[in-house]
Structure 1
Amino acid sequence: MMQHLDMALLSAFVERWRPDTNTFHMPFGEISILLHDVHHILRIPVDGQLMGDEASQDTLKSDMGGLVRLSVDAQVGGKWKSKWYDNGAMHAEGLLVRGGELKIKEMEVQCYLFVLLGSTLFVDKSRDRLRPAINLFLKDHRRLADYAWGAGALAYLYRQLGVATRAGSKGLCGCLTLLQAWIYEYFPLFRPSQLPQSPDAPRASSWISPRLPGGDEARQRLVRYRQLLDELSADDVTWTPYGRDGHTDIPRSLYTGPIRFSDIAEGYDPSRCLRQFGYRQIIPAAMTVPHDQYRPASGSSYIVFWDPWVNQLWDNVAARRLELDFASRPCEHPSEIVEEYVDWFLTRSHPRITHPTDGEPQPRPLLVHQVSYDFLLFFQISKTFVIYSNIDFYFYS
């Protein structure tokens, strides 16, 4: 899929991503990638055990050494870093270990899944490096089906979108197939051709993504995409692309709280995107917030820290499930909102990315009561970065 990714389109959406809410801020409000989107687009499980296992660097090195027949001391010289392992080393050193035939076959499967998942759901910017943490969930093949792989992939993508909003970031990683297919599902304006597909097939496989040129043409597309997104209204969005009941078979999509992949945890709040469930959008309640966060301009020290007890929220899904009928009501038109929502949103967001020309209405200014100084939003306006201080988590409540 890398050859078919429209990086200009993805960049235009990254500019509208808000890491504190994990939603895209559009002129008409918030919209995001939800767990039932992951289910329909990729057809991987979003329910199951939370992927919250962590391990020390020494443990990860030892596990990797078993896969590639290298001692811990030999895994240096570019093969090993704290967050990734060089995929090329696996091919150069071989994927098997010495042992009985059964053990070799098990290791073959483990290595194959490690490379597969590292090349699809948990992609690194280099496109040829793999996160050793993936191996934590592959050591026992009997437990493979127990994990919520879709929730882990979404948490990882949320984090990479947040890192990509930093001024010093030069790329985007994560499951970009999911992101691009999600854009196609919700925004008809950007859709390519589509093939007929069976109801149970991953919807991502039905889109015929064209190979688009880069360079100056990509930059021109980016400018055009920005303008189109600035002009979008709620009526231009397909709010329920899988049908008005597309979420009913995915109860986990209404979960509210953090989702995880190993050491990465990100907040997930469907109450900010009720229109994606076919319900009228109301002013959302307060979010479950992390214990601490640090999002510098460079992105290299990007940290969001959650207390260990938040893992229990995933297991208590009954208590953490958003009750749609209690929160809102089904709407006749998918883009319906309460009257107060627009004023609430405009005092907490910036509705446009491109610089308005003379004669166009100016966007409403941000109403800043409580500023989080460690979180800055960057908008590229007329080739100049203008920095806005974003509102703290608690101000969104």
Structure 2
Amino acid sequence: MVEPKGVIFEEREELMVSSTGGNPTLRIAHFLKPSVTSIDGLPSPFLSAEPTISMLKNLPLKVKFKGWQRPHEKWRMWVANLHSKYQSIWKKAGIYEAIMGSKYSISRHEDLVLGLAEKWCPKTNTFIFPWGEATVTLEDMMVLGGYSVLGDSVLSPVVTKEMEEIHENLLEALIKVATYGALIASHHAWLEHFMGSGSKFEHEAFLSCWLSKFVFPNMPYYFIEKQNFPIAIHLARGTRIALAPAVLSSIYTDLGLLKERLVDSTKLDTEKVLNLSAPFQLVQLWAWERFPTFRLTPISITHDEPRPARWHKLKQVSIENVRLAIDSAEENFQWRPYVIAANNNWLFPKFYGDKEQCVSVVDSLDKELESFAQCLRVCELVGLHCIQKYLPHRVAMQFGIDQDLPGHVAGYSKSPVIAWSNYNSSIGDEKLYIPPRLFEPDVTMRYFEWWKQSMYAQKDAVQHFVRRPRNSKRVPRVYSGKMANYNIFVPPSSSPKCHEVDMKDSVKETNLLGTLSEKKLAIDANPLTVSLCQSASHSTADDGAAKNDLQMIPMAKVMKSEGSMDEPEKNLADATVREVGHPTNVAVHVKDNDEENSSYCKTEMPGLELEARISRLERIIAERKAARANKKFENKPAKEEP
């Protein structure tokens, strides 16, 4: 029997387990299509290692979030002036909450956005975290952006003579208001020209400004975009336009561009500037809703206020290590933040019911339920200038649906007409399954094993290396001698900081480092400096396949020095060496006293569980320092009184 086109759900009995592990349970589960039942041939979700956020902070790349617009007082006044007259039309067109949301200001936490971008995979349009896969979805566009997932395409032209006349009037106004000798007018000049003017086209002009400033800002920035005129004209007549897929498509596009430039910037010597036009405040709101670590307590909203009002002017939380906080967020990550009552004034949509629902699709679906169904469908997102693939079956737990192995999705169409036709096609299911809002979804055992195996493979590909900042005036020379007396401890991937280790103090205070016998360096007079850094990241091939290029992983070997080692130190060092994994390479770059580079590469065994032992060794060293200081003080002869 041929399965109907456009089927969303699949129901079957499976062995299910929590995504964090535990005892599996055999039960009936629902999955999003397409899914597969075999790991054979299924690509890993992880990519080869890329630069970490700790490295990216000092890269020659300046990111400007041009689409991250904040409202000024006159814009709020214009919204208030038109609210009573046009609010019914805004609700009919599905833009009421989006317009109300434009009154709120979201403070930018740039490190958080860059940290998320590091985890972005442009091939699947998802974030690949160590503990799971997640993404910004159409549901987020509805709840956070206030945009509709239903309606006509943003590329819909004007179709009547009246609409054409209004379009011509807006173009004439654009020429009149333009202040730069070209067909461009600033948001401010446009507002001053139309606000309170009594113009027949003030409503269309208002919507054109809103679209150009908050929804589809484009180059040149801060100017009215004439391509938004047809959309504004449709919306002013209460026609529903599917803004959600278009906005999400722009976000996916710019996240992919940001990830690409972050990676490329590791190879650049000169500062570069990247301008992003997508409304990235929605990405940060997505993170604030799901990562409690990165935000303060949300503001209590009043009746009818949109969800972004919870974050109005909320200050960012200072996080020293964003990447570590993201990587360790498994236990606190909120898969479904919108099903939790923010306060009594937050009204749940119909698809956040307390009980499980199976609604007939044959009958006409309620608009809210139809919107939820649209969020669950694999499709293509048509934007003003881009088309992006939408793969909700990879992040089913964000919708309260159980997760199985994600099936392959063919490449998307480059034709906006075909892509929109796919997006707007009818639902093939006879019934729409809606999970209870507080249901905690699980993953299949095969998914759990697949993710675990992928994690192990990814750890083996993580790059840990030691390096100093690039000196463009010098060509580093390679030191071929041995470094048998060096004890280099490289922390695991969960600690992506750079540490400056003073070799002089290490030798004198711990007796763990010997002398550089073959280099004959005067350590006491001119201490060496070794920079320890780690790097790791993720991305995938076209269908999510992992690239097979392995990177360097740290060694964790303690060499005996010329000095003696106390028993606790020796036992800890021996334990560190014994419990390492597979062999790999590590590169060590040492800065000589003559400011040149020395390099040494040695095959060693990586330790995947070293962090605790490293902390213990550091504690022992600190205790020994304190003990020696006290002993030195006690042995110091008392000063004679005069």
Give TM-score scaled by structure 2 length.
0.45
**Aligned counterpart, 2:422:** 313
Q: Which residue of 1 aligns with 2:492?
A: 360
Task: Check if 1:105 corresponds to 2:197.
Answer: no
How many residues align? The count is 338
Give the letter aligned to residue 139 of structure 1. Answer: I
Provide Cα deviations, 1:270-296, integer angstroms capped at 9, x if missing partner: 1011110122222211224235xxxxx
Q: Aligned match of 1:66 in 172, 178, 197?
A: 172
| Letter paired with 1:128 | Y
Opposite residue 207 of structure 1, the aligned amino acid is W
Whether the aligned pair in 2 keeps the contact of 1:155 and 1:261 (CA below 8 Å) is: yes
Match of 2:285 among 146, 156, 181: 181
Deviations 1:116-135 (A, max 9, x none): 12221223477513443222
How far residue 39 of structure 1 moved from its aligned partner, in angstroms, is 1.6
Match of 1:275 in 2: 397
1:312 deviates by: 0.9
Rounded Cα–Cα distance in structure 2 between residues aligned with 1:132 and 1:89: 15
8 Å contact kept, 1:280–1:331: no
1:206-245 correspondence runs (5 A): 206-211=310-315, 224-233=321-330, 235-243=331-339
**2:380 pairs with 1:258:** yes
When residues 178 and 113 of structure 1 are mapped into structure 2, their CA distance, relative to the original with a 3 A threshold, is: same
Q: Is the 8 A contact 2:134 2:395 kept in 1?
A: yes
Structure 1 Cα separation of the partners of residues 328 and 232 of structure 2: 46
TM-score between the two structures when normalised by the length of structure 1: 0.68
Tell me if structure 1 keeps the 8 A contact 2:117–2:259: yes
Residue 184 of structure 1: how far off its partner (Å): 1.2
What are the Cα deviations for residues 80-137 of structure 1, in whole angstroms up to 9, with x where unaligned? Answer: 5xxxx75466469x459xxxx99x322x222211111222122347751344322231
Deviations 1:297-331 (A, max 9, x none): xxxxxxxx346322211221314999779xx9999
Closer, same or farther: CA 47–207 of 1 in aligned 2, 3 Å = same
Cα distance in structure 2, aligned partners of 1:351 and 1:208: 43
Describe how 1:112-131 pairs up with structure 2 within 5 A.
112-124=206-218, 128-131=222-225
Q: Could you list the per-position Cα deviations for residues 230-255 of structure 1 after superposition, in whole angstroms to 9, with x for gaps in the alignment?
A: 2232x221111122854973222112
Counterpart of 1:202 (choices 306, 310, 321) is: 306
What RMSD, in angstroms, separates the aligned Cα atoms of the two structures? 4.5
Residue equivalent to 1:42: 145
Contact 2:249 2:382 in 1 (8 A): yes
Q: Which runs of 5+ in 2 are unaligned?
A: 1-69, 71-104, 159-166, 262-271, 341-350, 354-367, 466-488, 495-531, 547-642
Percent identity between matched residues is 18
Matched residue type, 1:229: I
Higher-Rg structure is 2
1:340 aligned counterpart, secondary structure:
helix
Aligned match of 1:367: none
Distance 2:379 2:334 in 1: 26
Amino acid of the structure 2 residue aligned with 1:157: I
Q: Are positions 1:392 and 2:542 aligned together?
A: yes
Distance in 2 of aligned mates of 1:124 and 1:242 = 30
Unaligned runs of 5+ in 1: 56-60, 213-217, 292-304, 363-381
SS at structure 2 position matched to 1:30: strand
Residues 279 and 331, structure 1, Cα contact 8 Å, conserved in 2: no
Specify whether residues 40 and 141 from structure 1 end up closer, same or farther in structure 2 by C-alpha distance, changes over 3 A only. Answer: closer
* C-alpha distance in 2 between matches for 1:262 and 1:110: 19
Contact 1:68 1:95 in 2 (8 A): no
